[in-house]
Amino acid sequence: MTRLVIVGGGHAAAQLAAALAEKQFSGKIVIVSDEPVVPYHRPPLSKTLIKDPDAPLPELRGAAFYEEAGIELRLGTRVQRIDRARKLLRLSSAAGEGELGYDHLVLATGAKARELPQAPPGTPGVHYLRTYVQAQALRDALPAARRVLVLGGGFIGLELAATARQLGKDVTVFEAMPRLLARAVSPQISDFLLETHRKAGIDIRLGTQVDGLHRVDARVEGVVVAGEPVSADLVIAGIGATPDVDLACDAGLRCENGIVVDATLATEDPAISAIGDCTSFPHPAWPQPLRLESVQNANDQAKTLAARLCGNPQPYAAVPWFWSDQGEARLQITGLWRAGYEAVVRPATRGSGFSVLHFEGTHLRVIESLNSPVDQMAARRLMQAGQSPDKATAADPSIPLKA
């Protein structure tokens, strides 16, 4: 029987195993994850989980699902090395070391929180957020903290800032760029979020470089900005993530801002594929290889790969979409924003939300919506069907986009 081994216990791994089970994949599926718990939803970690001391693990599927589907879950087990010539993995866990052979290997190793050079994970007073265990540590530390500093005005930094503020904390965000989310969203969205967060009482300092950490003994008790200490009870570093490519690189696979795969998510080794946050992949709508960090991308790549492994190869071409909940603001984006598109603003039919539709000529390339889910979904469906509304319709909320 063919043995398919999936390295990683995140969205991509769990979705691939589920999609294969659904397609009645004839081989044996093994998931090897270095996390101690079953695969879970990561988005709630920064939004809801840290607010609620009783919130359970937001598992994607219960342990019974894997058992019933005949999927072997090896939790708390790290793949240390891939021996490509022998199709063998070197494993380590609390129980010791071991080996596991594969016929096909899927790397779904995700991404890691970028670390501050002076503060490796575990540094007292500093928190990172990528895993459930890190979320639990932050949830435990928050009640005793009054003053919270967030380094980075990206998605996770802003979500955490909004959540901490909802808990009544005194929150300051330091962002080095002159606007929030500068690489990911249009200036209209950055401005709106800035205003929303400031109105909620978050002190956001744009264009502000943090020079270093302010330590008292071994504990970090703030940061240093323009030579002056800014003290805090807790520092959260939300300074981005890097693809987890160590295993692939050590095995000699090509890695350039991610594990390089082709349109069918195959690496240069025909026995190894890669999916999710860890991949750098070609996309028909984008000139350069893409690497995305989103649940949609992890899930859709998993489905594309499942189809190939069951004998139905297709190129991966899903339209990217993403969401981020930041306090009262629900941001949803379909497509990938870049400077130079023509922006058309569309107020929501109800409430104070709006969308910004970005056109290249007559083609709708991106829609960003703030508290305007109906227009977001209508435009997403149009984009998935390769259609565009005209600009007059886009600007007029009295005409439904789907019309």
Ligand X SMILES: Cc1cc2nc3c(=O)[nH]c(=O)nc-3n(C[C@H](O)[C@H](O)[C@H](O)COP(=O)(O)OP(=O)(O)OC[C@H]3O[C@@H](n4cnc5c(N)ncnc54)[C@H](O)[C@@H]3O)c2cc1C
How far, in Å, CA of 271 to CA of 82, rounded?
12
**What is the nearest approach in angstroms of ligand X to the Cβ of residue 110?**
2
288 and 314 in contact (C-beta within 8 Å)?
Answer: no
Q: How far is the CB of 233 from ligand X (least distance, A)?
A: 21
Residue 323 interacting with ligand X (CB under 6 A): yes
CA distance 5 to 30: 5
Torsion of CA 254, 239, 293, 376, to 10 degrees: -150
Beta bridge partners of 131: none
156 binds ligand X (CB under 6 A): yes
Q: Which is nearer to ligand X, 45 or 234 (CB)?
A: 45
Name which of residues 331 to 390 contact ligand X (CB under 6 A).
Answer: none
Question: What is the distance between the alpha carbons of residues 327 and 324, in angstroms, rounded to a whole number?
Answer: 10
100 is an interface residue for ligand X by CB under 6 A: no
Residue 8 binds to ligand X (criterion: CB under 6 A): yes
Beta-bridge partners for 100: 89
Closest approach of ligand X to the CB of residue 80, in Å: 7
Per CB under 6 A, which of residues 253..282 are in contact with ligand X? 276-277
Site for ligand X in 15-54 (CB under 6 A): 32-35, 42-43, 45-46
Contacting residue, 4, 5, 6, 9, with ligand X by CB under 6 A = 9
Strand partners, 171: 148
CB of 227 to ligand X, least distance (A): 32
Is there binding between residue 298 and ligand X (CB under 6 A)?
Answer: yes
Give the one residue of 4, 17, 18, 110 binding ligand X; rule: CB under 6 A. Answer: 110
- Nearer residue to ligand X within complex by CB, 42 or 214: 42
SS3 content of the chain, % helix, strand, coil (to 5): 25, 35, 40
Question: Per CB under 6 A, does 309 bind ligand X?
Answer: no
216 Cβ partners below 8 Å, 6+ apart? Answer: none
Q: How far is the CB of 192 from ligand X (least distance, A)?
A: 17
As measured in angstroms, the least distance from the Cβ of 84 to ligand X is 15
Choose among 141, 119, 110, 121: nearest CA to 40: 110
Exposure class string for 164-173: b at 16+ Cβ within 10 A, else e: bbeeebbbbb
Amino acid letter for position 137: A
Using CB under 6 A as the binding rule, whether residue 90 contacts ligand X is answered as: no
Q: Pick from 30, 111, 162, 230: which binds ligand X (CB under 6 A)?
A: 111
Taking CB under 6 A as the criterion, the residue among 109, 196, 326, 371 binding ligand X is 109
Antiparallel, parallel or unpaired: β 96-101 and 88-93: antiparallel
Sole binder of ligand X in the list 4, 6, 11, 369 (CB under 6 A) = 11
Give CA–CA dist 35/45, Å, rounded: 15
Does 197 bind ligand X (CB under 6 A)? Our answer is no
Distance CA 80, CA 87 (A): 14
Question: How many whole angstroms separate alpha carbon 302 and alpha carbon 11?
Answer: 9
Binding to ligand X in span 202-221, by CB under 6 A = none
Residue 78 or 215: which CB sits closer to ligand X?
78
- Residue 344 bridge partners (DSSP): 357
Write out the residues near ligand X by the rule CB under 6 A. 7-13, 32-35, 42-43, 45-46, 78-79, 108-111, 129-130, 156, 244, 247, 276-277, 293-296, 298, 322-324
